[in-house]
Amino acid sequence: MTNTDLAKRVYDHAFKLDPIIRSLLDTDIYKLLMLQTIWKEFADIPVTFSLINRNRDIPLSRQIDLGEFREQLDHARTLSLTKKERIWLAGNTFYGQDRLFSSEFIDWLSHYRLPGYELAEVGDQIRIDFHGSWSDITLWEIPVLSIISELRSRSALKRYGRFELDIIYSRAKAKLWEKIVRLKQLPDIRLADFGSRRRHSFLWQNWCVQALRDGLGENFTGTSNTLLAMEHDLDAIGTNAHELPMVLATLAANDEELKYAPYRVLESWQRTYDGNLLVVLPDTFGTTGFLRNAPEWVAGWSGFRIDSKDPVAAGEELMDWWRSRGQDPASKLIIFSDGLDIDSIEMIHRHFLDKARVGFGWGTHLTNDFRGCAPDHNDQLNAFSLVCKVTRANGFPTVKLSDNLEKASGPETAIQRYLDVFGKDQVLHRTVLV
């Protein structure tokens, strides 16, 4: 992937269809890691994934063309692993481990293609659902979000001429580089690209990754995007997500089994992975409740990822919990990943310096920060909070509480039941921007 003239590419589309997803590996590595666990232990659980627009004031169906959307989805369905990609997955070292993916799993994945979908326009919003077995459906999450985000960007840029586009991209590049200059001043900063889902475009994410590698050197730890990791010989970074406990919770026969579901996920995970992949995501049903009820062995895992809670409060709570279980926080990894930008990264880094091993997964405000870059301050170039979540599993609606109830999903009665089971302490309402 050479350095592309982004403005020219936007202005002068050379193809009838300019594909957004060009490889099955244009997804985050955590989806493949989770898929291997799902494929081994839970492959046939029926699920539904659905698009959820958390910013309902964004009229999505007016900002992208549904015909173009369908074309991009259908193109993604034609993709399968290439020989090069299969060899790379089988032979690459991930997290210091050889053969992280079994040959049986790679054989299965080599014949995999994305399944069908249901698409409709509902008012000024888009409805898209994916139904099927968990192992077949789960990989749709990242491609559908990336397609929508890039189609929205393309639509927003159509109004500009060649030189205006050049200025927009020049401003965005300067803006990111100024952030990188500030990051370079932070001692021992460890930062990875987590920006695939809501990126401005694939080519822009590619530029951002190269800028971080050149600007931060060894302090840039890699990218969650599997294809970019392969193309640039970078580490693919990522572990697991809320999807696992959300689905496994639907298998619970009673409230006691429901309460244990988050730890059943971890038991399953450690049957396949170890070392630095033993990172806990505790906030699916609330971090405080998770820590209060966690079995002793969870404290022995390598680290935690903080997502939806105030980062300083969550980090301090976690370190106190480790100490109460005889663990040294300085030996543990804490990954911060929720809505980060340069100011919050600087603040978190200063607070936790020398207290723990801290890493940052920088997402939307890395790969889609065009705020103020257009001459007319075009709001459609601003990122927003769009997710694709599992909404049903095993015949039941799924629930996510989060530490921030603005991110909660599921029917109200089910949410209330989960709050009763897992506890309501320190579960708050905070504005969701991305």
Whether residue 12 is predicted with pLDDT greater than 70 in this model: the reply is no
Mean pLDDT of the 362-377 span: 95
Residue 358: the pLDDT is 98
Residue 126: the pLDDT is 98
Distance between CA atoms of residues 154 and 69, nearest Å? 12
For residue range 392-429, what is the model confidence (pLDDT) as tens digits? 999 999 999 999 888 899 999 999 999 999 998 766 66
Q: Which amino acid is at 159?
A: R
Name 91's Cβ contacts closer than 8 Å, sequence gap at least 6. none
Which is higher by pLDDT, 77 or 17?
A: 77
Whether residue 311 is predicted with pLDDT greater than 80 in this model: the reply is yes
Which is higher by pLDDT, 2 or 337?
A: 337
For residue range 25-82, what is the model confidence (pLDDT) as tens digits? 999 999 999 999 999 999 999 999 999 999 999 999 999 999 999 999 999 999 999 9
Strands 118-122, 125-133: pairing kind: antiparallel
Query: What is the greatest pairwise CA distance in the chain?
Result: 62
Mean of all residue pLDDT scores within the chain:
94
Mean pLDDT of the 118-130 span: 98
Residue 96: the pLDDT is 77
Distance between CA atoms of residues 394 and 247, nearest Å? 8
Distance between CA atoms of residues 225 and 237, nearest Å? 8
For residue range 248-301, what is the model confidence (pLDDT) as tens digits? 999 999 999 999 999 999 999 999 998 889 999 999 999 999 999 999 999 999
Q: Which amino acid is at 412?
A: E
Q: Are the CB atoms for 306 and 338 separated by under 8 Å? A: yes
Model's pTM, two decimal places? 0.94
